[in-house]
Amino acid sequence: MSGISNMKNSNVSEKSKGVLIFAKNTETIDYVAIARRAEQLINHYLNLPVTIVEPTVESTTNVRYNIDSNKFEQWNNSGRYQAYELSPYDQTILLDSDYLVMDDNLLKILEVTDDYKIAGSNDYINQPTSNSIGKYSLESLWATVIVFNKTPKSKMLFDLVKRIEKYYAYYSKLYNFPRGNYRNDYAFTIADNMLNGYIQDSSNYIPWAIKTVNQQVNNIVLRDNQLIIKTKDQGYVIPKQNLHIISKEFLLSDQCEQLIKEATNA
Amino acid sequence: MSTPEQIVDQIKVATDYQKNKKQLKEKILTDLHVTYNGGLFLITTDLISFLATWTNEELFLEDVYNNPIKVKREELLTKAKECYQAVMNEWHIEHEKLKRVRKI
């Protein structure tokens, strides 16, 4: 007997699927509140359970420039490698808390992932994005969105990220990028490179770019299936889609709450 | 009456038609991906034409991840046409809306 209809094994139990978000509050930003908002959108558009976890790893001394306050502020991004162990799901979509899901395209990736898939490109809404981790180094992957199954290869990926985080200074020299803050994007880029025999192989990439609004956001309004984004410098009208929003002030604002209300009632 | 400074500010925050158009096209390309039998396909006119003219009912097709996926021709063709029609209609509608938005 042949044919595609016979390819499914009815003895295989349904795998659990869900979304995992890391969130750890800092002195100035309530990341848990941001994650709770992201959760509402995920429930609506992906219809998947969401688990918000706080990494148990001690934070490093990372600081990043806050585009809203124009100051350098504390930034906790350590311990992302714990996602593999902390995820209660067989199949996990791992998202940054500031990633707003407004379509169901990630379900397609979940369906075709064997081990893991990671965002391979990132489009800033206002400018071309430099995708290299260093001047003479690898093209950056983006840890903002990672889809993984609990498989030995995925475990190796997260184990490597743990190692890279621990010896970040060494890897920054080996891969020729400025040390600066620890970056999950860089750690996953290097881990993926090592895991694939030191070549960059797009077979583990999500085949479309994540969209990032990297400016101070005055407002985002959903109108007639279009997102009208007003930043400090320019306006944008784009179709409703997933957005990575760097402006935490907006994500915690009443305008964002209103956007979520509109997006979940649409 | 607006001062020259106010007008400059208004122009700065006006939307750029070309940028919006590019964003729309990228979203459309994302939406043109469909899953089928464990594979991920980008629906193109080439793929639809190929499926419409191939004579065998079962075949293997390369997906976006370079995997050969076993497909039932009619089944994937129907799915591809449905996706293509819906997404291209959406593109047309959204593009018409964009043209009405103030552009610089």
Using the beta-carbon criterion (under 8 Å), do A4 and B58 form an inter-chain contact?
yes
The pLDDT of residue A229 is above 90: yes
Residues 6+ apart with CB under 8 A from A261: none
pLDDT digits (tens, 9 = 90+) for B24-51: 999 999 999 999 999 999 999 999 999 9
Q: What is the pTM for the complete model shown?
A: 0.89
Give me the pLDDT at residue A11, please.
Answer: 47
**Domain-located, residue A245:** no
A4 CB neighbours in chain B (<8 A) are 37, 58, 70-72
Q: What are phi and psi of B47, to 5 degrees?
A: -65, -45
A241 CB neighbours in chain B (<8 A) are 27, 30
Q: Which of A208, A230, A237 sits opposite B13 (nearest CB)?
A: A230
**Domain-located, residue A222:** no
What does the DSSP assignment read for B23-86? HHHHHHHHHTEEEETTEEEE--HHHHHHHHH---SEEEEE-TTS-EEEEEHHHHHHHHHHHHHH
Number of domains in chain A: 1
CA distance A99 to A50: 13
Please list the ranges in chain B whose pLDDT falls under 50.
104
Domain ranges of chain B: 16-100
**Domain-located, residue A32:** yes
Beta-bridge mates of residue B15: A235
Using beta carbons and an 8 Å cutoff, which residues of B are at the interface with A? 12-16, 19-20, 23-24, 26-31, 33-35, 37-40, 42, 58, 63-66, 70-72, 90, 94, 97-98, 101
What ipTM did this prediction achieve? Answer: 0.85
**Domain-located, residue A246:** no
**Domain-located, residue A230:** no
Using the beta-carbon criterion (under 8 Å), do B34 and A108 form an inter-chain contact?
yes
**Domain-located, residue A203:** yes
pLDDT tier for residue A50 given thresholds of 50, 70 and 90: very high
Give me the pLDDT at residue B9, please.
Answer: 65
For residue A36, the domain's CATH number is: 3.90.550
**Residues A37/A29, Cβ–Cβ less than 8 Å:** no
pLDDT digits (tens, 9 = 90+) for A81-103: 999 999 999 999 999 999 999 99
Distance of CA A216 to the CA centre of its chain: 19
pLDDT digits (tens, 9 = 90+) for A6-22: 344 444 458 899 999 99
**Among A119, A142, A117, which residue's Cα sits nearest to residue A203?**
A117
Using the beta-carbon criterion (under 8 Å), do A239 and B24 form an inter-chain contact?
yes
Strand A142-149 versus strand A17-22 pairing type: unpaired
**Domain-located, residue A58:** yes
Domain coverage including residue A22: 16-210+252-265
CA distance A225 to A265: 12
Length of chain A: 266
**Among A69, A80, A204, which residue's Cα sits nearest to residue A141?**
A204
Strands (DSSP E) contained in A103-249 are: 116-119, 122-124, 142-149, 205-206, 210-213, 217-223, 226-231, 235-239, 243-245
